[in-house]
Structure 1
Amino acid sequence: MNAEIRRAGLDALFRPGSIAVIGASDDPRKIGGRPIRYMLEAKSAVKVYPVNPTRSQVQGLTAYPTAAAIPDQVDQAIIAVPARQAEAAVADACAAGVRSIVMFSAGFAEAGDEGAAAQTRIMKMIRDAGARMIGPNAMGSFNTVDRVFSTFSTAMDRGTPAVGRVGMVSQSGAVGSYLQNLVISRGMAISKFVATGNEADVQAAECLEWMAQDPDTDVLMLYMEGCRNGPALIGALRTARRMKKPVIVFKAGRTEAGQTVAASHTGALAGSVQVFDAVLREAGVYSCQTLTEMVDVTYACAQGRLPVDKTLAIVTVSGGVGVMSTDAAMEAGIALPPVSEATLAEIQKELPLAVGLNPVDTTAQTVGDRAMLTRAVERVLRDRPFGSAMLFFANAGRNARDMEILSGPLRALRAEFPETQLALCVQTTPEFRSQIEELGYLVFEDPVFCVKALAAAAELSAVRRRPLVTPQIEALAPVVLTSSPDEARSKELLAAAGLHFAQERVAANADEAAAAAEAMGYPVVLKVLSPQIAHKSEVGGVALNLADATAVRAAFDRVVSNAAAAAPAADIRGVTVAQMIRGGTQTIIGAHRDPTFGPVVMFGLGGIYTEVLKDTVLRTAPVTHEAALEMIRSIRAFAILDGARGQEKADLDAIAGAIVRVSQFIAAQGPEVESVEINPFIALPEGGVGVDALIQVKA
């Protein structure tokens, strides 16, 4: 199916001019009756054609025995029939020439082999017809701008939703409906919504990309349980970034047990958690841990005003709130630059007990005159620019007189500081909350949640300002391998791609090993050479710091014997004799081919610390030199490479260059090359060298 047809199908999904409801019900509470009721209540301009062979009318509309019998062009078909009738319904929709299908019907791939076979047959009909489908087992979609409600979501029972600017994509109908209510209850409105169900055809990533290009949508929410097409998701997230639209993601299935549940729920395999996290981080989205956080961060972005930087001013009437807000700011990575002593002195002229340079605690002195509180805020914001400000006003929002006094000064503050994102942390009534939001303020009750949401909005704002870089794959010729090579051959292949390794020679016997050591100079390292033995130290196959020929000969016999005893089926080809590299820091540079997202590169501390500390970072491959430097600086133990406690600083550019070359190598290979690893890569004050290398080929 070409890109034009795929796009047209998505247009017909979100913006159809006419809809046939196959399985239409006269009962507006039933699944087949709800979309009709929703569009009638919304006074939608979309033409709705109920399809029900047993009725002449459905909810006051003329009904048709089949979709093919409808005399007009039909853009979309909603299928709300039992699974046993679904194939006939799809055939009818295709005969009517629809471009998109929304299938509520369940009992397909999520229900077992028989259902999966039926789903396959349905998809063949749809593809042959050049149409697109959401589902099966989908809650459907809606578009508030054009009043299209192809859904049975019970969130609609609260009435026709207002037109908004938030786009929402969910792989779960129940979670999606729940999120709708959370978003609406938070005072936001939705532009487009879709719950994708089994994703037999249209997947969440495609919907996200469509919404990223939708002029009626400014902020995107994505709830995911799994991903079948990693490159499509990466492409959608890059499109959103290019369009400067914040993306807030909740990825369920973050543990092994959670991934198993997610797979059984959606019929999709959840990808590696670490790789998924890396993809989201690299794309510049905000990844949430809870649905509450997801809604809070979306709310902080939905006004259309994002912080210009990651600085925060806190003005509070409570010292305790100042402490907990400071903790939250430090944990979230948002700065609290102090105001000047002169500004604090000005505040203290009116509020003598006020303390702190940021947070500024006005204490309870303002209870009798709330105008003093806003004057303190005004002085803080005039002192220096801030990206955001949190104003903790305690219970003032429940007091009508306080709100009367505060409304004018709050309006003036908003006008004077149009670029600053202002948030009021206050207990309030729904009426006063709406008034505060209309003034251009965010409203929170929990100060910690407020700080975290402001920090997230600041990070998403920073992402919008960073240029979007597309790494180019170097023109490396893919290697041709039918089996995993041994260490020597692996190094040879990687050296051809520009990686540097310690000088070494292959020796088939003890005499050759001694001669090689004499030629290159002592001390040397011996390692058993076998394509079947990846971790040589674990089988006693490594000998270090050998200072003479006698030691080399003895070491040869020892490491070969150890390896043969530990792995009797291994093809042992002798040893490698290499220079003993002194000093430096052991790191690991690796890459593998993720089944969902493709080539991924890894960096971290190497040697025995790789497994013990698990201090590694991942990125999709290939990476740029700048991205590689960012990887290096992001590990927890970066201080070791940066000269902590008097150690020599490592050559970061040399490490980054090696990361780039490994990423280019894996990206250039075919699917048969599963992984590449240099462990350790010794980072030196000048340059760096690989000591061990491994290339794994798919069996």
Structure 2
Amino acid sequence: MDALPQAAAAPPQSMDALSALFAPRSVAIIGASGDATRIGGRPIAAMLERGYAGTILPVNPNRETVQGLAAYPSVAALPMVPDAAIIAVPAEAAETAIAALAERGTRAAIVFSAGFAETGEDGAAAQARLLAKARQHGMRLLGPNSLGLFNAAQGFYGTFSSSLERGYPVVGPIGIASQSGAYGMHLFSMARDEGMGLSCCVTTGNEADVNVGDLIGWMAQDPATEVIAAYSEGIRDAPSFLAALDLARRNRKPVVMMKVGRSEVGSAAARSHTASIAGDDAVTDAVLAEFGVVRARTTEELLDIARLATRRIYPVGNTLGVLTVSGGAGVLISDAAQAAGLPMPPMPESAQQALREVLPFCAPQNPVDCTAQVLNDVSLVGRFADALVKDGGYGSILCFFTHAGGAPSIVPRLRGELRAMRAAFPDRLFVLSVLADPPLVRDFEADGFAVFPDPSRAVVAIQAMGRFGDAFAAAPPAPPPILPPVTLPARTPSEAEAKRILSEAGIEAAPERACASADEAVAAAEALGYPVVLKILSADILHKSEIGGVLLNQMDAVSVREGFALLQQRAASSVPGARIEGVLVARQLAGGVECILGVHRDPVFGPVAMFGLGGIFVEILKDVAFRRCPFGEDAAEAMIRSIRGAPVLLGARGRLPADIPALARMLSRLSVFAVQAGPQLAGIDLNPVFAMPEGQGAFVADAVIDITEGAA
């Protein structure tokens, strides 16, 4: 049997498949209007203004010309087959238009028309008919209910957004993919207002066909797009999405994403707005992290990270060195770095001493405070920054000069020092926090520096560059283990049967025996050795502790006989009619760390594994890690080490270190088991799992395999 795949099986869209949508050589506008403020008129006006080099073909049966262009009464009357079409007619007319275009061989259509799946069952049926007509002839659809797209470099504006009235984008390396039309254009507008260069902006609408994964995949192959900014409310097509993220990482294209719907209220809003499946937010975090995608919490973060990423410097093992003229700002930056998880190791002691010899009253630890003395001697900037890079070895340097960095009396000398520093260390990420007039900010950026007025914002963006760098540099993960085929019963099994099934996948349980009588229980206890644990054995009672169905510290034959009877009594009283198979007698393990391993089937990404420590860590603190199944032992160990409570397993405060390799092996095997089990598996709960001291293994103490009855 071959190892299971770790990335999506479906390939991303090729450049050719979507090129007609992004860069058509000719475009028909169905419902073309001579009024440049109407939906059918705005794209024509924008393309004429921005010098679109392709052929514009207005279709309007009531006009001979539209905005100075020859108009045609129908699709059939067009003098050529357009590469793409813009549909700006009511829903019922859109179906007819798509059919006519598809039959003529048009390769792509942008459907502005609303009144489809977003309106209910009838609209969904109409959308299905629309898609069927397009697919019959190999046409790609963007929308329906889409605000469209623009390709700035091509001058192609297939959008009716009024945002263009305030200005067009500067051509640049950032591509925007958004499921929300209005918010996608909101992102564009903010980026434009900040002077950020954009390659394209695309909004998917209802995603009948082209989805946000397709767009990311196309941008990941587009030479004009170096950074991808995405906004998502829910992932419809997980395979294309995952394949696109994998392609972007392999092509060193950073992806920064706003995935909204974190809260219960927000998640409900996302479902009602787009009919998308929101999935579990913690799972989304894990999937994005798996592919090196940085998740932005706010619009400001999204744009900050995208803007800094255009510098194309992604430090591996990123650390931050800070040069400041303010001790207070240094403290603020340190707090922000700690909150972001960005290391700020101190300067070497020898380097600190050397800086004190230059400026006795400086604070050279990191942040390195060269004080207001730079106003008298700007050369200190270069000397201190040189030490930060050469002696400190930091991957990123943040220089806080506040308003002094914008003072006309200082700027010429400061720019000279900074340019020399940048030229000497072109591989380092240099960021400035200054308050300056916009023309000066542009000068600093032209010198190769990213500029942030707020140093805390700068820290968040710098930390993201390191995450990109680590993702791009990471070695391919180890393949998942190869396990024998999995055969599940038709219904949820008892604990003993669940453990037997798992044992075939190499997932070991604590030594135990299923006993149908008190005599058998005593014999089992004598064979296993005291103390033992007694547990009611029933496929109908999965959560045994809730009915008092678990007895610990059974020390002798008398307590085992009494315990057997007590468990039978509690089961009959608490769950009348439950099928009771007897009692499970297990050796009581000591000296291990209680953990929880589990699997649940995410509606978007399929089986997802969970790891955490037992007890309050999972119940109250929710200190757990997730990962999409399947994965190898290296990924499993990374999960284990990622939780906040990992020191408990690693030997904190004199504890014996737990057997991490055995725990990782179990978690990895569980992930493969979950995939091989197929849709019949609803979930798995191994709680507790005892991670014994180093070299002594890991053992399942309780197991639940939840079966979806009747699943194919």
Q: CA deviation at 1:339?
A: 3.2
Closer, same or farther in 2 for the Cα pair 1:690/1:371, shift >3 Å? same
Report which stretch shifted further, 608-617 or 528-537: 608-617
Q: Offset of 1:139 from its aligned partner?
A: 1.2
For 2:504 and 2:590, how far apart are their aligned partners in 1?
A: 25
Specify the code of the residue in structure 1 equivalent to 2:77. Answer: A
Instruction: Give 1:579-658 correspondences, 5 Å limit.
Output: 579-607=587-615, 609-658=617-666
1:122 shift after superposition = 1.2
Q: Which residue of 2 aligns with 1:550?
A: 558
Deviates more, 1:375-384 or 1:640-649: 375-384
**Please, which moves more after superposition, 331-340 or 17-26?**
331-340
Deviation at 1:410, TM superposition (A): 2.0
C-alpha deviation, 1:351, in angstroms: 4.3
Using a 3 Å threshold, how does the CA distance of structure 1 residues 440 and 127 change in structure 2: closer, same or farther? same
Number of aligned residues? 698
Whether the aligned pair in 2 keeps the contact of 1:259 and 1:269 (CA below 8 Å) is no
Q: How far did 1:450 drift? A: 0.9
Instruction: Pick one of 131, 154, 173 that aligns with 2:139.
Output: 131
Give distance in 2, aligned partners of 1:354 and 1:6: 56
> 1:584 touches 1:682 (CA, 8 Å); kept in 2?
yes
Query: Which structure 2 segments of 5+ residues have no match?
Result: 1-9
Change in Cα spacing, 1:344 to 1:268, as seen in structure 2 (3 Å) is: same
Q: Is the 1:242–1:468 contact (alpha carbons within 8 Å) kept by the matching residues of 2?
A: no
- Among 700, 706, 709, the alignment partner of 1:690 is 700
1:339 pairs with 323, 347, 371, which one?
347
Query: What is the identity, as a one-letter code, of the residue corresponding to 1:509?
Result: S
Q: Identify the residue that residue 462 of structure 2 maps to in structure 1.
A: 454
CA deviation profile, 1:282-317 (whole Å, cap 9, x unmatched): 111111111101111111111222335412221111
SS of the counterpart of 1:401? coil
Counterparts in 2 of 1:216-231, with a 5 A limit?
216-231=224-239
Q: Quick one: distance in 1 between partners of 2:154 and 2:11?
A: 24
**Aligned residues with identical type, % of pairs:** 45
2: distance between equivalents of 1:568 and 1:609? 33
Whole-Å separation in 1 of the counterparts to 2:559 and 2:617: 28
2:268 is aligned with 1:260: yes
Is 1:463–2:471 an aligned residue pair? yes
1:247 matched residue in structure 2? 255
Residues 527 and 577, structure 1, Cα contact 8 Å, conserved in 2: yes
The answer for the alignment partner of 1:577 in structure 2 is: 585
Cα separation, partners in 2 of 1:7 and 1:674, compared to 1, 3 Å: farther
Partner of 2:435: 427
The one of the two structures with greater contact order (alpha-carbon pairs below 8 A, sep at least 6) is: 2
Q: Which of 510, 524, 527 is the matching residue for 2:532?
A: 524
Q: CA deviation at 1:385?
A: 2.7
Gaps of 5+ in 1: none
2:7 counterpart residue number: none
- Scaled by the length of structure 1, the TM-score of the pair is 0.96
Give the letter aligned to residue 408 of structure 2. A
State the one-letter code of the partner of 1:114.
Answer: D
Q: 2:171 aligns with which of 163, 168, 191?
A: 163
Mapped contact 1:9–1:100 kept (Cα < 8 A):
no
| Partner deviation per Cα, 1:73-93 (whole Å, 9 max, x = no partner) | 211111111224222222232
1:200 aligns with 2:208: yes
Match of 2:500 among 480, 483, 492: 492
CA-to-aligned-CA distance 1:427-453 (integer Å, 9 cap, x gap)? 011111111100000000001111121
Whole-angstrom CA distance in 2 between matches of 1:548 and 1:353: 73
Shift of 1:572: 1.5
Displacement, 1:141? 1.6
Q: How far, CA to CA, are the matches of 1:361 and 1:413 in structure 2?
A: 17
* CA distance in structure 2 between the partners assigned to 1:405 and 1:607 by the alignment: 60
Aligned equivalents of 2:304, 2:281: Cα separation in 1:
23
Counterparts of 1:92 and 1:684, CA distance in 2: 69
Give 1:211 shift: 1.0
1:176-206 deviations in whole A, cap 9, x for unaligned? Answer: 1111122223332111221111111111011
Change (3 A) 1:152 1:320: same
For residues 534 and 195 of structure 1, what CA distance do their matches in structure 2 show? 46
Is the 1:5–1:130 contact (alpha carbons within 8 Å) kept by the matching residues of 2? no
Instruction: Say if 1:162 and 1:673 are closer, same or farther in 2 by CA, change over 3 A.
Output: same
367-376 vs 87-96, which moves further = 367-376
Partner of 1:667: 675
Deviation (angstroms), 1:345: 5.2
Alpha-carbon distance between aligned partners in 2 of 1:335 and 1:611, rounded to the nearest angstrom: 30
| 1:391 shift after superposition | 0.9
Distance 2:386 2:550 in 1: 68
Q: TM-score, normalised by structure 2?
A: 0.94
Instruction: Report the residue type matching 1:620 in the other structure.
Output: R
Q: 1:78 aligns with which of 71, 77, 86?
A: 86
SS in structure 2 opposite 1:696? strand
Does the 8 Å contact 2:12/2:217 carry over to 1? no
- RMSD (Å) for aligned C-alpha atoms: 2.0
- Please state how far the C-alpha of 1:595 moved relative to its aligned partner: 1.6
1:107 has 2:115 as partner: yes
For residue 670 of structure 1, give the secondary structure of its aligned residue in structure 2: helix
Contact 2:235 2:278 in 1 (8 A): yes
Contact 2:484 2:504 in 1 (8 A): no
